[in-house]
A = this chain, B = another copy of it.
Amino acid sequence: MSRKPPRIDTRNIVARSRIFNIEELHLTFSNDEQRVYERIFGTRNTSVLVVAVDTDDNFLLVSEYAAGSQRYETGFPKGILEPGENPLQASNRELREETGFSATHLEALMTLSVSPGYMDHHTHLVLATGLRPEPLDGDEPEPPELIRWPRRDIAGLLRQPAFTEARSVAALYLANDRLDYS
C-alpha cells in the first residue's frame, strides 16, 4: 500500500452542469504507463445517511422518487450536508425532514466512499436512537413514505426489490452489528 501514485500531467474540466463537473485527468503511472481517466465532482460531495431505530426495534426507512433510476427507491433517510453543519447535525435535520422524528442519541458509524474510481463523494453513516416526533419542513417535492421494518427481519428487507442501494445495505449491517454489541 506504499506505491508511488501516478503523476497528473494535465487536468481539464471537459463538461459542466448546474450540479456536476466532469474532469479529465491525464496520468502517468510510476511504470510509465499512461491513461486518461474521468472524474465527476461537485459542490455536493459530502452527505449523511441515517439509520434510525425506534423503541420497538424497527428501522425507519423512506420511499422516495430517485431521478437516476427513475423509480421509487426504499432506503435510509439521507441528504447533503448544508454549509456549517457537522454530520450529526445534518443527520438530525434530514431525519426530521424525511420521517418527522428527531433523535436524542446520534452516533457516527463509518464514512463510506461512493464509486471512488469515478467520483469524490463521501457519506457519513449515523445511527440514531431515542426518537421523538419533531417534524421539520424540507425541500422534498412530496412527503417521503415512511416504512418501519423490524430489525429481526434483515433477510426480508434485503429481498425487497426497491431496497438496493449500496450505502443502505452497508449501513443496515453496520448498524445491526453496532446495536448487537452495545
Could you tell me if A1 and B63 are in contact, using CB atoms closer than 8 angstroms? yes
**Number of residues in A with C-beta < 8 Å to the partner?**
67
Name which of A82-90, A94-102, A166-174 contacts chain B. Answer: A166-174
Q: Contact partner of A14 among B18, B141, B170, CB < 8 A?
A: B18
Residues of chain B lying within 8 A (CB to CB) of residue A15: 15-17, 20, 22
Could you tell me if A113 and B164 are in contact, using CB atoms closer than 8 angstroms? yes
Could you tell me if B170 and A67 are in contact, using CB atoms closer than 8 angstroms? no
Q: Contact partner of A113 among B5, B65, B73, B120, CB < 8 A?
A: B73
Interface check A112, CB cutoff 8 A: yes
Residues of chain B lying within 8 A (CB to CB) of residue A169: 110, 112, 166, 170, 173-174
CB distance from A130 to the nearest CB of B (A): 25
Could you tell me if A120 and B40 are in contact, using CB atoms closer than 8 angstroms? no
CA distance in complex: A31, B70 (Å): 17
Residues of chain B lying within 8 A (CB to CB) of residue A20: 15, 22, 38, 40
Q: Do A72 and B164 form a contact, CB below 8 Å, given A38-B17, A38-B20, A141-B35?
A: no
Q: Do A116 and B167 form a contact, CB below 8 Å, given A3-B145, A5-B71, A141-B35?
A: no
- Other contacts beyond A3-B72, A38-B67, A123-B166: 12, CB < 8 A: A15-B20, A20-B22, A25-B67, A29-B65, A33-B142, A34-B141, A37-B67, A39-B67, A40-B68, A114-B165, A115-B115, A116-B164
